[in-house]
Structure 1
Amino acid sequence: MQPQKATVRPIQRFASAVSKCSAESAAYGKCILADYNSVHKDLCAKEFMRLKDCYSLAAKKA
């Protein structure tokens, strides 16, 4: 009989992905913070897309 694979909860997978994207998170945070009084759609789109791509890639590997 084979041991059962442990179930990974979605929040655990997300936490693991977030921990691997600290540089992208910092870049996005700095971009938002630079002009936080007038945040609008697509203000930091480039940084957000890098962060999103990093999360997606890290989540697939987890």
Structure 2
Amino acid sequence: MPPRTRPIEKFAQAVAKCSTEASVYGKCIVADYNSVHKDQCFTEFLRLKNCYLAAAKKS
């Protein structure tokens, strides 16, 4: 039986595969951090979320 992967390890692997999307999302938030509002970076967030989900499925 293969070794069991802990959920946090799976998450860490997914995060590592989405550094570009994370960077774009972070830059969007920081660009106007003094007046952050709901859905400010919605598109960037969805790209990051979709990347995480796709990477997690592959793990």
Residue of 39, 50, 55 corresponding to 1:53: 50
Unaligned runs of 5+ in 1: none
Q: How many equivalent residue pairs?
A: 59
Which consecutive segments of 4 or more residues in structure 1 shift more than 2 A?
A: none
Unaligned runs of 5+ in 2: none
Q: Percent identity?
A: 63
Larger Rg: 1
Superposition CA RMSD, Å = 0.4
Counterpart-to-counterpart distance in 1, 2:7 and 2:39: 28
Q: TM-score, normalised by structure 1?
A: 0.93
Q: TM-score, normalised by structure 2?
A: 0.98
